[in-house]
Amino acid sequence: MTWNDSEDASRRLEFDSSHLTGEGHSPGRDIPIDDFPAAELTNALTEQSFGTTSFKIVLTGPLEAAARVVLLEGTALNISLSSQGYKIGRVDAKIGEAGSPTIDETFESLEALLTSVSPRYATARQNALFARLQALSDSRSSDK
């Protein structure tokens, strides 16, 4: 992680999730409480890391945070979080194709945003859910 002061007094945090493995990692703990949007965005992206290749927080402030996210398809986009919700910022050309969300569209959840722009995320999410349900079923079967 790297902190730099910018002219507008907001702070930048760089966090690359491509090295994350396993559960229990909570990078949001390293972020000061006054950077709630950055902590929330970091935690949300970490929870959804099964459906993305990597992410890096590129802007933090008291009212908004933004991250550069690489989708499983290889497309990179900027996602911001504010009190209004999750939005797509500047994007690679692939996101602008027919049927994709517009840059002005706001989403209530990161899951909804990622589902709308990444078919591979939707598939990975279904697979992760199925794996959890299977593990739960297996553990209940072994308890009998």
First to last CA, the chain: 46
79-100 pLDDT, tens per residue? Answer: 999 999 999 976 554 544 555 5
Query: Please, what is the average pLDDT of the chain?
Result: 75
Q: Which domain CATH number covers 63?
A: 3.30.2280.10
What is the band of 4 on the pLDDT scale with cuts at 50, 70, 90? very low
Q: Is the pTM of this model over 0.75?
A: no
pLDDT score recorded for residue 90: 61
Stretch 52-59: mean pLDDT: 94
Give residue 52's domain range: 2-143
Distance between CA atoms of residues 28 and 55, nearest Å: 14
Domain count, the chain: 1
Sign of the four-CA dihedral 4, 6, 9, 15: negative
Residue 88's beta-bridge partner residues?
79
Task: Give the phi and the psi of residue 69 in degrees, each rounded to 5.
Answer: -120, 130
Distance between CA atoms of residues 28 and 43, nearest Å: 6
Distance between CA atoms of residues 11 and 18, nearest Å: 22
